[in-house]
Structure 1
């Protein structure tokens, strides 16, 4: 049921109406005709498809209310008064149908539901309190499920990002990665095999089952880990130097204790606890440091990762994630119809005054 384009047409004309710009009148009529045709194609005749997909609920009523109101307004300004009155009268009936009784709203809110939840549920169920309760429960269950799925998807995306990109700038195929892990290969090892083979499962499997190429991949992964460790140590040294300590003393302290906290205690002359304890900076304590530590230029070119840089933002992936985290299937139908109600009354009054002339 794809109704995005018809909804966009209606929203565009609604903007014309809110701006009170009747210069767009002819275009508004064309857009509304296309919207009605598109909605019937998507929703089925008399919204039968919506009823089926939404288990008998009525999410589409506010949308059709707005459509009929706008059709009535366009007809009025085109001097088609009978057509305008018919459209506005139908819109008014839908408006009254969407009015939520205060006692029903209070009852649902007393059960612990929010006002927004209660109003939406009562409108979706034509004011049936019991079905409204069921609707809210189902919506909460779906929301919790989406939340869990979003969290899992976010974890997968961040994990995928950690593995870097293939030479052709593609992300590692997580499904094929799972298949290789299922066969007994370590995840980092399998991911690197897929990355360097453009996600070709068979080629990656060949490399993983070949002792020579497998050993080469393992050495490469180990070099990446060492690179990240050295980068962490370099960052710690630069941070301590920026605090005013002499670089040679900082390098010596970090080499001896491995962590920022312990090195800082030593530099400040405070008692130093067990140097085998690591801190929250994630730098392994007592890490082996060579004489070149303390400068990022000491990194060998062979350690450079051909995939994505550790600090580089993957904007495309982040945008995809954001889109996935902001979904609400009923948001386009959950319209607050107060302004529509005022407009219906206004134009019906104008039609009444014309009829008296």
Structure 2
């Protein structure tokens, strides 16, 4: 972190003074340093920036060598079309991340690059991330934004010892749950109901609702992995969640803060994974997060005040936002901006760290540690108001659960009526979802569907050919189309999630099965149980960090800033 800060300051100064270190007199014809001129420059900049001379000299040499290498690679790319990409590799044996460069043409499929990474690095299952997006193995590198000097992260997808962390497996589990929404017995799964900050269910199109549930589910899985300090695994899930959020309309994302929280979590994983090379992507994500919070909460959080009656709990999101903004400013060499943001962080931290005595008072009244902490944050330390807020929140949750139970009971009764009429459970559940629970309308939907012409076999073959053109194996493509009922987009997503392999639940479900289940999928229940284990029972869990990690980063930035004089 400190090295990046010094290098950023020196690069700004070099640009301002129009000094090119790769040219004479700072580099000779043999690309060796012009020692006298480099030493003189180091002494001058050390005095100007008030930094140790040896540290400045070392940083200048790093910049000089990097500029020479960049020039060589530019020439190679111009002459042969061979680009050089930089890879940030996962740590080995508990060590730190390492870097390596690799030459490649850009008009080849990403799979070719991935095969070389697998061979040279010795990874069996991994993902390659560029600017927060996972490379598609079947597409060309240049079509996905890869260029000369591109910096990419290589993340282990999962390993044999932690198969439940596999993002493809988690994705299938949440897809099953999204299909079951509103028609099952999952009494402890309130996350399946898409709601605003107050918990009021939102009426949104089924396609967007499904995408949002998938996004939120994968986000929660990623957050669970973050709590276990498995930030690389978490990042795989968070980035996949971001893909599904992009399928939701902007109107929907304007009333839920999930997308903003996700951006914060992704950037947090960047810094926790020592992936400072991803900070360009991080800057954009922090802007998205702040914009999201402004839309959802109001410029001065007035909308949040109307909805919830307080703004104290959401302050933890702004603490992390300002903390990450301070980090980015520091590694950019902007110490003044870093200090300003850090002052805001320290103020928020002092307010959001609950007093131990007040916590005890509330817990004696029968509130949990989480309820006490959230209550004190919401009330800004007022014990009596905190108790009132927590009590009211308990009553609101119970009312929501009561309404959910009623909704499930009504859906079950409607499903039973449709089953007696001879309709399969899967079709009946789908019709009820489209009809928003209206039994009469669901009957009409099913009747219309029964009179529609059957799916054209030629059309299905055309979809298969499209998948084959993308580079997927025929058997896997056929299984994916069968599993998704012929939906081309869903089949493509499923193949990408499974790294081109067919889904284990390839056989289509029979019409008599429950929605979201499959006779060809013996492990559906296991998948569902796995993903539910990581879903918090309290929807306010994301507002309840202990702030221990935030304090560690705060102190680290503060220590680094202390050695740098005010500019």
Q: Same fold (TM over 0.5)?
A: yes
Aligned to 1:301: none
Aligned to 2:110: none
Change over 3 Å in CA distance of 1:144–1:355 after alignment to 2:
same
Quote how far apart the aligned CAs of 1:12 are: 0.8
The answer to whether 1:341 aligns with 2:551 is yes
Q: Residues 292-307 of structure 1 correspond to what in structure 2 (within 5 A)?
A: none
**Alpha-carbon distance between aligned partners in 1 of 2:395 and 2:386, rounded to the nearest angstrom:** 14
Change over 3 Å in CA distance of 1:326–1:161 after alignment to 2:
farther
Q: Residues 58-73 of structure 1 correspond to what in structure 2 (within 5 A)?
A: 58-73=312-327
Match of 1:331 among 508, 521, 541: 541
Contact 2:411 2:437 in 1 (8 A): no
The answer for unaligned runs of 5 or more in structure 1 is: 181-190, 200-306
Spell out, residue by residue over 1:56-105, the C-alpha distance to the aligned partner (whole angstroms, 9 max, x if none). Answer: 34221000000000000011001011001111110111011011111111
Contact 2:373 2:544 in 1 (8 A): no
- TM-score by length of structure 2 reads 0.37
The answer to whether 1:350 aligns with 2:560 is yes
SS in 1 for 2:542: coil
CA-based RMSD of the aligned residues comes to 3.3
Aligned residues: 233
Q: Residues 183-194 of structure 1 correspond to what in structure 2 (within 5 A)?
A: none
**Alpha-carbon distance between aligned partners in 2 of 1:337 and 1:13, rounded to the nearest angstrom:** 16
Aligned to 1:148: 402
Change over 3 Å in CA distance of 1:327–1:52 after alignment to 2:
farther
**Alpha-carbon distance between aligned partners in 1 of 2:446 and 2:377, rounded to the nearest angstrom:** 55
The answer to whether 1:35 aligns with 2:289 is yes
Quote how far apart the aligned CAs of 1:313 are: 2.6
**Alpha-carbon distance between aligned partners in 1 of 2:287 and 2:398, rounded to the nearest angstrom:** 38
Q: Which structure: greater helix fraction?
A: 1
**Alpha-carbon distance between aligned partners in 1 of 2:303 and 2:437, rounded to the nearest angstrom:** 34
**Comparing both chains, which one has the higher relative contact order based on Cα–Cα distances under 8 Å and sequence gaps of 6 or more?**
1
Spell out, residue by residue over 1:329-349, the C-alpha distance to the aligned partner (whole angstroms, 9 max, x if none). Answer: 533333331110121111111
Change over 3 Å in CA distance of 1:344–1:31 after alignment to 2:
same
**Alpha-carbon distance between aligned partners in 2 of 1:63 and 1:141, rounded to the nearest angstrom:** 25
Contact 2:354 2:381 in 1 (8 A): yes
Contact 1:166 1:195 in 2 (8 A): no
Spell out, residue by residue over 1:240-260, the C-alpha distance to the aligned partner (whole angstroms, 9 max, x if none). Answer: xxxxxxxxxxxxxxxxxxxxx
Contact 2:427 2:446 in 1 (8 A): no
**Alpha-carbon distance between aligned partners in 1 of 2:353 and 2:405, rounded to the nearest angstrom:** 37
- TM-score by length of structure 1 reads 0.57
**Alpha-carbon distance between aligned partners in 2 of 1:37 and 1:350, rounded to the nearest angstrom:** 29
SS in 1 for 2:344: helix
**Alpha-carbon distance between aligned partners in 2 of 1:159 and 1:108, rounded to the nearest angstrom:** 42
Q: Which structure: greater strand fraction?
A: 2
The answer for unaligned runs of 5 or more in structure 2 is: 1-254, 450-509, 518-524
Match of 2:374 among 120, 125, 128: 120
Contact 1:166 1:197 in 2 (8 A): no
Aligned to 2:344: 90
Contact 2:261 2:289 in 1 (8 A): yes
Aligned to 2:330: 76
Q: Residues 140-179 of structure 1 correspond to what in structure 2 (within 5 A)?
A: 140-162=394-416, 163-164=418-419, 166=423, 169-171=427-429, 173=432, 176-177=438-439
**Alpha-carbon distance between aligned partners in 1 of 2:437 and 2:405, rounded to the nearest angstrom:** 17
Structure label with greater radius of gyration: 1
Aligned to 1:282: none
**Alpha-carbon distance between aligned partners in 2 of 1:196 and 1:31, rounded to the nearest angstrom:** 44
